[in-house]
Amino acid sequence: MKKIVTRFAPSPTGFMHIGGVRTALYSYLYAQKMGGDFILRIEDTDKSREVKGSIAHIQESLTWLGIDWKYGPDKPGPFGSCLQSDRLDIYKKYAQTLVDKGLAYPDPYTNEELEAFREQAKAEKRPFLYREHRPETFGVWDGTKPLRFKVSEVKRYHWTDAVRGELEAGEEMLDDIIIIKADGYPTYNFAHIVDDHEMEVTHVMRGEEFIASTPKFLSLYDALEIPYPVFVTMPPIMAADGKKKLGKRDGAKDLLEYRTEGYLPEAMVNFLALIGWNPGTEQEVFGETELIETFTLEKIQRSGGAFNEEKLLWMNKEYLQKLSTEDFAKYVKDALPETITSLPLFTEQTLLKLAPSIQERVHSKAEITQAAEEGEYSWAFSTPKVDPALVQWKKDESPKDALPRLQKALELLTDADFSTADTIKSAVWDYAEEVGRGELLWPLRVSLTGRERSPDPFTCAFVVGKEEALLRIQSILNSI
RNA sequence: GGUCCCAUCGUCUAAUGGUUAGGACGCUAGGUUUUCAUCCUAGAAAUCGGAGUUCGAUUCUCCGUGGGAUCACCA
C-alpha cells in the first residue's frame, strides 16, 4: 500500500488562526493514524503579501499544539525545499512541458486591455472568461508576460471527495488561468499541484473554499498527466454567531493569543478536533494518542461549525484539573499580577498550598488574573483588614455573638495539627457540629480572609499557616 | 448575478427508513459538611418549509427557503 502523505500549506501572510490550525491538525492526525508523513509547505509565491516573521510564527503555533512535520521549511525532503520560493525551477520545468505541448502560452494583453474585457462582460451581464479572448497564435514565452494555461477540454467535471462524496462543477469555472506570473512566481493553482505531485501527497485536505475551483485543478492535473490525489474537504469554522466563516476580519484571533490567555495546548487540540469531527461515541475528552487512534476521514462533518469559546473554556478546565499541583502552581504564578506576588507573605510554599483550591474552580489564566485583581487571593499573602460586621452570620445576630465561638475555635486550633487542611478540620469539626456549622465556620473563615467568598476555613488556615491563622483570629477577637 | 456546497436543541453533535430523537457546552432548579466555586441529580431546549417514495421518514427524491463559499498576475 502506498504511503499516506498529507500536507499543510499556508501562505506566510500573517498569524495562524483557528481555521487554519484545525486543517493542519486534521491533516496531521490522519497522517499519524495511517503511519504516513505530514509535510509543512510554505506557499510564499506572493511577495507583496508576505509578512515578515510569519513562517516562524506558523511553526511556533503548530509546535505549541504538538503538531510536528516530517518535512518543513526547516527540514527539506527528498523532493527539495518546502518553501515554494525555492522551487521556481521546478515550476518552470512543468510549465515548459505545457508550453511544449501547446497547452500554455504567454498572455499578450496589457492589464488595461484585460480590464476592458472585464468591464465589457460585466456590462453585458455575463461572466468574464479569458478563454473567449484567447489569441489565435501563441507568442514565445520569455518570462516577461504571465503564462496562461490553455484549457483544452471545457467540460463538466465529476470527482469524489472523501467527506462530501460525489461532487461536480460546470464549465463556468474552467478558464485559461495564469500559471506563472510575470514576476516568475507560479500561482497557487499551479504550484500546489506540482508540489503535491513532487512531494507524493496522497490526500489533499483543505477548506471548502476550494471546491468551486476544483475543476480548474482537475483540468491542470489532466494536462500535466498527474493522477488526482484524494480530495478531503473540511467544513468551515464559523464565527460565534454561526453566520459567517471565521476569518481574521471577523475576530479570528492569533492562535498564540490563546496560549497567552492560558489555554493548554491539549485542550485546544481536543476542542479543535471536535469542531467538524467526532468519533461517533459520547466521548468528549481525548488525549492526542486517543485522537490519532479514533480519527477517521468519514467522520468529518459536512456542515460548518461555530467556534464556541464557552466550550473551549470548559475543555480547558478539564485539562487544567489534570495538571500536577506543582505545574498548576506555576500556571497560577504566571497569571498573578505584580500586586499579588509582591505581597509580604508571598512565597512559593504558600502558593503551592493555595493552588489546589484555585485549580478546582478556574477555567483560564485570565480568570485567575481577574480574581487576583479583585483581591480574591490577597488574604493568602498578606494579613487582611477584617470588617467586624462581616463576622455576623445571621441577620438577627450581632458580630459579638460569634465571639465565644471564635474564642473556642482559637483554643482548639492552638493545639491543632496544621499539616493538612483535613487535620485542621478534624480539630474543630466536632465543635462546629455542636454549635451549628455555619455558626462557627462562617465567622472563622471571615476572620481568616476578611472576605465573603473564599475557600473553606480549613484550607484558608492551612494556607496561611498556624502562626498567622491564630494571629488573625486573635486580632478579630480584639476588634469586636 | 453565474456556479458550487451545506441544513437535528442557542452552540458542538449522535441516531441513515421503525428510538420516549441520545450526549456535551451553556441555561434553570434542587442537593452535597458555612460562602463562592467544584461535584451530583433533575429540567427546559431541535429534526427549516412543502410535495413525493414508503406500511412508516431526521434519514431517500424533487421544489422552495435560509446560510455559506467561489468567480484575481491571493492563497
Give me the percent of chain A exceeding a pLDDT of 70: 99
Helix, strand and coil percent figures for chain A, each rounded to 5 = 50, 10, 40
pLDDT for the residue A2: 86
Beta strands at A157-161 and A165-169: parallel, antiparallel or unpaired = antiparallel
Question: How far, in whole angstroms, is CA A76 from its chain's centroid?
Answer: 26
Estimate in Å the CA A218 to C1' B44 gap, whole number.
Answer: 51
Q: How many residues does chain A have?
A: 480
H helices, E strands: number in chain A: 20, 11
From the C1' of B68, which residue's alpha carbon is nearest?
A244
pLDDT for the residue A391: 85
Collect all residues with Cβ–Cβ distance below 8 Å to A159 and sequence separation of at least 6.
A166, A167, A168, A214, A218, A228, A231
Nucleotide nearest the Cα atom of A360 (by C1') = B38
Closest CA to A480 of A396, A387, A414: A387
Nucleotide nearest the Cα atom of A442 (by C1') = B34
Q: What is the pLDDT of residues A333-374, one digit of tens each?
A: 999 999 999 999 999 999 999 999 999 999 999 999 999 999
CATH code linked to domain A388-479 = 1.10.10.350
Q: Which residue has the cell 499578450?
A: A108
How far is A212 from A190, CA to CA, in rounded Å? 16
Fold exhibited by the domain A248-318? Glutamyl-tRNA Synthetase; domain 2 (1.10.1160)
Q: What is the pLDDT of residues A245-279, one digit of tens each?
A: 887 767 788 999 999 999 999 999 999 999 999 99
Q: What is the pLDDT of residues A4-33, one digit of tens each?
A: 999 999 999 999 999 999 999 999 999 999
Estimate in Å the CA A298 to C1' B22 gap, whole number.
Answer: 21
DSSP per position, A13-72? SS--BHHHHHHHHHHHHHHHHTT-EEEE-B----TTT--TTHHHHHHHHHHHTT---SBB
Q: Is A248 labeled as catalytic in the residue annotation?
A: yes
pLDDT confidence of A395, banded at 50, 70, 90? low
Estimate in Å the CA A86 to C1' B24 gap, whole number.
Answer: 46
Collect all residues with Cβ–Cβ distance below 8 Å to A164 and sequence separation of at least 6.
A211, A233, A302
Collect all residues with Cβ–Cβ distance below 8 Å to A362 and sequence separation of at least 6.
A317, A320, A368, A371
Nucleotide nearest the Cα atom of A11 (by C1') = B75
Q: Where does A215-327 show beta strands of DSSP type E?
A: 230-234, 237-238, 305-306
pLDDT for the residue A181: 97
From the C1' of B26, which residue's alpha carbon is nearest?
A310
Q: Could you say which nucleotides of strand B lie within 7 A of any protein CB atom?
A: 1-8, 10-15, 22-26, 33-39, 67-75
Estimate in Å the CA A222 to C1' B75 gap, whole number.
Answer: 22
| Res. A480: pLDDT tops 80 | no
Q: Do residues A105 and A147 touch, judged by C-beta distance below 8 A? A: yes
| Res. A396: pLDDT tops 80 | no
Nucleotide nearest the Cα atom of A310 (by C1') = B25
| Res. A453: pLDDT tops 80 | yes
Domain boundaries A5-238, CATH class: alpha beta
Torsion of CA A441, A447, A452, A454, to 10 degrees: -70
pLDDT confidence of A126, banded at 50, 70, 90? confident
| Res. A465: pLDDT tops 80 | yes
Nucleotide nearest the Cα atom of A280 (by C1') = B14
Question: Other CB atoms closer than 10 Å to residue A367's CB: what's the count?
Answer: 18
| Ranges of each domain in chain A | 5-238, 248-318, 323-381, 388-479
| Res. A67: pLDDT tops 90 | yes
From the C1' of B34, which residue's alpha carbon is nearest?
A438
Q: Do residues A278 and A258 touch, judged by C-beta distance below 8 A? A: no
Estimate in Å the CA A177 to C1' B72 gap, whole number.
Answer: 10
Estimate in Å the CA A303 to C1' B17 gap, whole number.
Answer: 23
Task: State the alpha helices, DSSP H only, in A146-286.
Answer: 188-198, 214-224, 255-260, 265-273
Rg of chain A (C-alpha set): 32
Please pick, among A248, A299, A394, A400, the residue that the annotation labels catalytic.
A248
Collect all residues with Cβ–Cβ distance below 8 Å to A43 and sequence separation of at least 6.
A9, A10, A11, A12, A84, A188, A191, A192
Mean pLDDT confidence for A160-174: 91
